Amino acid sequence: MGLPHWSSKEAEVIELHINGVRHRVVGEPNRSLLSVLREDLDLTGTKYGCGEGQCGACTALVEGRAVRSCITPVHLVAGRPITTIEGLAQGGRLHPLQEAFLEVSALQCGYCTPGMIMSGLALLTANPDPSEAEIRRFMNGNICRCGTYGRIVHAIQRAAQKMRKEGRR
Ligand code: FES
Ligand code: FES
């Protein structure tokens, strides 16, 4: 008989603050944030791509900064504010980045899109008026297999403009 993934001896209760909601999860503290989001909390908007920190599909924000959730042990983010794609729309309105991605069709299959939007948000939080070169540099670790990079840059520029106009970050 094989060993279980974690024994009850190793299990810990971990409190997570995700999109303004507190969750208590029980499990092995070195599990990835991505597996806890998807498997325990049913927050499946954050995608599994490479599982090795190389593609950006799993990007979430911790204290406003982009992290690769597939390689982030969940215990490291306990008690810190986490934002996932599910937390962006407010009051029935999509976030300006989500609107802009739709408006300029910055997606084809859409698999990379949540990660692209979360990285875009981290960028615009730190730099509300990035140049095209700054966008390309910042988004460099996010891979789109459909090759929609040009439209993704355009969407981020458009969202940045909207957000400045609305005075939001
Ligand atoms: S799935 Fe995390 S970076 Fe690829
Ligand atoms: S839209 Fe298909 S991977 Fe980016």
Encode pLDDT of 43-81 as tens digits. 999 999 999 999 999 999 999 999 999 999 999 999 999
Instruction: Please indicate whether residue 141, judged by its CB atom, sits closer than 6 Å to ligand 1.
Output: no
Q: Cα of 116 to ligand 2 centre, how many Å?
A: 9
Residue 81 and residue 126 in one domain: no
Structural domain includes residue 5: no
Q: Cα of 96 to ligand 2 centre, how many Å?
A: 19
Task: Output the domain CATH number for residue 56.
Answer: 3.10.20.30
Q: Write down the mean pLDDT value for the chain.
A: 94
What is this structure's pTM?
0.93
Which ligand 2 atom is at minimum distance from the Cα of 109?
2
Dihedral over alpha carbons 108, 110, 112, 116 (to 10 degrees): 90
Closest CA to 28 of 42, 7, 2, 43: 7
Residue 83 and residue 16 in one domain: yes
Q: Which ligand is nearest to the CA of 108?
A: 2
> Residue 87: which pLDDT band, with cuts at 50, 70 and 90?
very high
Q: Which domain holds residue 141?
A: 96-166
Instruction: Return the DSSP state at 90.
Output: B
